[in-house]
Amino acid sequence: GESVGLHLPTLSVQEGDNSIINCAYSNSASDYFIWYKQESGKGPQFIIDIRSNMDKRQGQRVTVLLNKTVKHLSLQIAATQPGDSAVYFCAENNAGNMLTFGGGTRLMVKP
Amino acid sequence: NAGVTQTPKFQVLKTGQSMTLQCAQDMNHEYMSWYRQDPGMGLRLIHYSVGAGITDQGEVPNGYNVSRSTTEDFPLRLLSAAPSQTSVYFCASRKQGPRNSGNTIYFGEGSWLTVV
């Protein structure tokens, strides 16, 4: 079936470096994507979203890139900080206005 | 500023027992949903509701029941708990509106359920 998934289960970066977290999706009809951050013991927290009519969207220290040709989504975090350590999920907003999540990538920031 | 409130936070059940996870939101959101998250995995949709009196199945509905008698509450019932239902459960709510409004999807803090 259609799914949203991630390439890397764990990403370790040095504090101050940029982080790139990737996500592959298989439903070519998907038209809206969201990145969530989940800290240990907490629920998912919205980071940024993007619609399929866009290739790039920027927030504060975060950028989401969408490549519809290869069905690939990425989250870039600039100047990664220890507080960025968490699990990051991409999600597709499905027809029922609920979410289908990928498997998650754990980001570990080394001081 | 309550948002989405889930109870209990932690629960241990014996196989075959029943229980209800409570979820309440005070934001007058039309959409509510329940997800489960297994270790090292993403969230999977169990059931959802687009308004009072309306519920529908998600990806993994077996073993769970829901009801939506009010806008505020969306309880999740386990009728006969099984070890496979050991997981973390998240309730979420969202306003009715355009699909490009992800920042209106609110999650509860989670309920940790262990079935022994």
Alpha-carbon span A109 to B3, nearest angstrom: 30
pLDDT in tens, B36-92: 998 777 889 999 998 999 999 998 999 999 999 999 999 999 999 999 999 999 999
Burial level of A111, CB count in 10 A (0-12/13-18/19+)? exposed
Q: Which residues pair with A12 in a beta bridge?
A: A108
**Interchain pair A51, B100: CB under 8 A:** yes
Alpha-carbon span A38 to A106, nearest angstrom: 9
Smallest CA–CA separation between B108 and chain A, in Å? Answer: 6
pLDDT in tens, A37-83: 999 888 899 899 999 899 999 999 999 999 989 989 999 999 999 99
Q: Is B88 on the interface with A (CB under 8 A)?
A: no
Q: Please tell me which residue, B103 or A89, carries the higher pLDDT value.
A: A89
**Interchain pair B107, A43: CB under 8 A:** yes
pLDDT in tens, A6-16: 444 889 999 99
Smallest CA–CA separation between A100 and chain B, in Å? Answer: 7
